[in-house]
């Protein structure tokens, strides 16, 4: 095993880590694990899965991420866990009473962060800072706070700070903005033809305002004003735009490389992400054969990436709260405000 982890997150098909997967991860040392709905049945099983992965790679702080935004994107949605509201619902509450909306969102973010931290999960890959328009692909929808970049940044701040307070890593997505994409990047390659001036004044704006967020996930979207061919997640040009024009110096991880916006084999996709200059490739699905192929194509984290990861970890708090009580308080706020 290399002492420096690979710049790679791996996924699993099942809720348990097989002996062969354990041996592969011990040998290859991927940075982190991404667990989905298929991997999480109940708290003790989830905790054990996370412990087994960390045992395999020999790092008790190895990051384990999931998708836990609220609304239709929450992979902790089985019976033992409370269901959280979408960002669109918090935006509607904030339109009626901005301070109440921010209070409820901060409390909900703390509840969600505390729940994940208790399980051993490092992040729920949230918040979504994409704008939403009438033409936006339904893949975003109520995951967004709306069309106003200033509102998105203000509400996104509550999520980021609430998660950090409870020791859970925020990951803003999908930098530099998925909102103008009319196609679902899971299935097709979206192309955004907006001008540089338009993008700077709209889609890029929440990410610039939130550039102190420790991690960001890069969109599989083509921005033709900058790069006519390649999605941002595999574009050296867009890497430089994010680092220099947007001024983002945190950890940059690709969206899942299984998504059909990308082309090439799985190992080629891993290489494309890393060759473009991004810190980490996210391989969140797949079986052991695919994980092995991804690991062979990956390379150790750079010194700069290791520094960014360490800087993010240094910002994690240790606020302890009763997440069920906090979630119930959020529901009371919505009931009192008569917002469904």
- Cite the active site residues: 186, 255
**In this structure, are strands 222-223 and 251-256 parallel, antiparallel, or unpaired?**
unpaired
């Amino acid at each position: 095993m290399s002492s420096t982890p690979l710049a790679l997150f791996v996924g699993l098909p099942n809720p348990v880590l097989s002996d062969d997967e354990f041996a592969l991860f011990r040998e290859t040392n991927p940075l982190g694990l991404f667990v989905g709905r298929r991997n999480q049945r109940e708290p003790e099983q989830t905790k054990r899965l996370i412990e087994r992965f960390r045992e395999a790679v020999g790092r008790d702080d190895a990051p384990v991420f999931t998708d836990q935004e609220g609304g239709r994107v929450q992979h902790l949605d089985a019976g033992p866990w409370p269901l959280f509201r979408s960002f669109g619902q918090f935006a509607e509450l904030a339109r009626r009473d901005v301070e109440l909306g921010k209070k409820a969102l901060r409390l909900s973010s703390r509840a969600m962060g505390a729940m994940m931290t208790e399980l051993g999960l490092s992040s729920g890959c949230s918040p979504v800072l994409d704008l939403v328009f009438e033409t936006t692909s339904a893949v975003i929808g109520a995951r967004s706070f709306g069309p106003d970049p200033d509102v998105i940044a203000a509400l996104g701040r509550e999520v980021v700070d609430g998660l950090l307070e409870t020791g859970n890593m925020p990951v803003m997505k999908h930098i530099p903005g998925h909102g103008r994409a009319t196609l679902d990047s899971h299935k097709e390659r979206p192309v955004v033809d907006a001008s540089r001036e338009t993008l700077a004044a709209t889609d890029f704006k929440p990410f610039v305002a939130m550039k102190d967020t420790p991690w960001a996930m890069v969109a599989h979207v083509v921005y033709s004003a900058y790069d006519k061919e390649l999605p941002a997640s595999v574009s050296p040009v867009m890497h430089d735009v994010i680092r220099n024009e947007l001024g983002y110096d945190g950890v940059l991880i690709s969206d899942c490389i299984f998504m059909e916006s990308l082309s090439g084999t799985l190992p080629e996709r891993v290489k494309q992400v890393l060759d473009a200059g991004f810190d980490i490739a996210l391989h969140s699905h797949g079986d052991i054969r695919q994980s092995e192929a991804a690991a062979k194509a990956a390379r150790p984290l750079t010194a700069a990436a290791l520094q960014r990861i360490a800087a993010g970890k240094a910002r994690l708090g240790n606020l302890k709260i009763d997440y069920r009580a906090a979630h119930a308080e959020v529901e009371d706020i919505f009931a009192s405000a008569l917002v469904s």
